[in-house]
Amino acid sequence: MKKVELLNISKTYDRKQDVISSISVTIEPGEFFVLVGPSGCGKSTILRMIAGLEDITDGVIKIGEKEINDLPPSKRDLSMVFQNYALYPHLSVEENIIFGLHVKKISKSERKKRCSEAADMLGLGSYLQRKPRELSGGQRQRVALARAIVNQSPICLMDEPLSNLDAKLRAHMRSEIRQIQRHLGITMIYVTHDQVEAMTMGDRMMILHNGEIQQIGKPIDIYNRPANPFVATFIGSPPMNLVSCTNNWKTGEININNHLRFFIKPEDQPAVRNRQLTVGIRPEHILHSSNRLTNTIKMQVQVINVEVLGTETIFAFHLGGKEWLAKWNGQWRLSVNDIVPIEIDYNSICLFDKKTGGLIKAPAKIERHIIEQEVMI
């Protein structure tokens, strides 16, 4: 296992504008580290720079204690799995898996042994003599993964490897890749635009936007304490509801479009003094009004759209000129134009500085304030 260090790396094309701007992070040995962000944020470029497929404009990349800026890809002791599988159509599954070993002049017996071990691990034993065209998308992805495994490199890079698969197969492959990484103990750097993949697979993740780091941390910590509104809306499904508010710090009150008024707790008042605020509320923190919670804001809203997903119900409503989303556990018999009672607890909201975007207040003790919703059939 080896760690990977990025020290103030930047990438500029034609010296015009930074695609990657001063990225610094240390990826620990044996860690499953996820680069996540919207299309065009620079995550694949970072991966290709680590692999040696893109030149670095500025900064240093280290693997272990060795600087690798000038090393060719073949000398960096890593493997890579691409989005498009990159299999040779005229070679069999077995030949595709061991192709890199043949180039490295590994002995025939060792190639056979490694291929057999990887094929057994990924359930490819009965497909070794087939051509890629005879395989499904999931089987082709397994072949690409097996090709990376047989190299026995301490670092594996993955560039959106599941984006071509259907939803059910993606869920299965997420689990499979994670188990293989734990079994082999390798350092894995995984690129995706899918926040579900990032949340479920990563030990830590780095969220990127416009080539800059927005936040680095464990998935659940980022979910509970998003660094700014971009992270708050990118991580979580449905995304966090965000709305501007007026802040009367003299009376200790924030007002959302004259519809929601919260009294700021004394311990939070120094942090919000003289600041313009944005309030964030996750859909699952908008509760059905039950009169079981105290110090909450209660109101009635009109439903404008409903999605019943079996285990949860998501509905939309207008409040203060904006469309909000709420998510309740279970199956709720709601229809468009229904009037439903809701409540929001001050402890469950986020407060962001409107000018800087920085987080001022995160939800507190969420697990004690989310009440299991009654299932309505």
User: What local confidence, expressed as pLDDT, does residue 315 receive?
Assistant: 97
Contact at 8 Å (CB) between 11 and 212?
A: no
CATH class of the domain whose range is 4-224: alpha beta
Residue 312: CB atoms within 10 Å: 16
pLDDT one-digit tens code per residue, 123-167: 898 999 999 999 988 889 889 989 988 988 999 999 998 887 788
User: What local confidence, expressed as pLDDT, does residue 294 receive?
Assistant: 60
pLDDT one-digit tens code per residue, 205-230: 999 999 999 999 999 999 999 999 99
User: What local confidence, expressed as pLDDT, does residue 268 receive?
Assistant: 86
User: What local confidence, expressed as pLDDT, does residue 374 receive?
Assistant: 42
Contact at 8 Å (CB) between 309 and 220?
A: no
Which residues, in sequence order, are CB contacts of 19 under 8 Å at separation 6+?
11, 12, 13, 42, 45, 211
User: What local confidence, expressed as pLDDT, does residue 291 receive?
Assistant: 59
User: What local confidence, expressed as pLDDT, does residue 295 receive?
Assistant: 64
- Whether 229-368 and 4-224 are alike in CATH topology: the answer is no
- Say whether 80 sits in a helix, a strand or coil: strand
The CATH code belonging to domain 229-368 is 2.40.50.140
C-alpha–C-alpha distance, residues 62 and 50, integer Å: 9
Contact at 8 Å (CB) between 91 and 140?
A: no
User: What local confidence, expressed as pLDDT, does residue 365 receive?
Assistant: 61
HSE at residue 26, side-chain half, CA atoms within 13 A, is: 6
User: What local confidence, expressed as pLDDT, does residue 366 receive?
Assistant: 58
pLDDT < 50 stretches in the chain: 368-377
DSSP state of 3: -
- Dihedral sign, Cα of residue 127, residue 131, residue 134, residue 137: positive
Domain ranges of the chain: 4-224, 229-368
C-alpha–C-alpha distance, residues 258 and 237, integer Å: 27
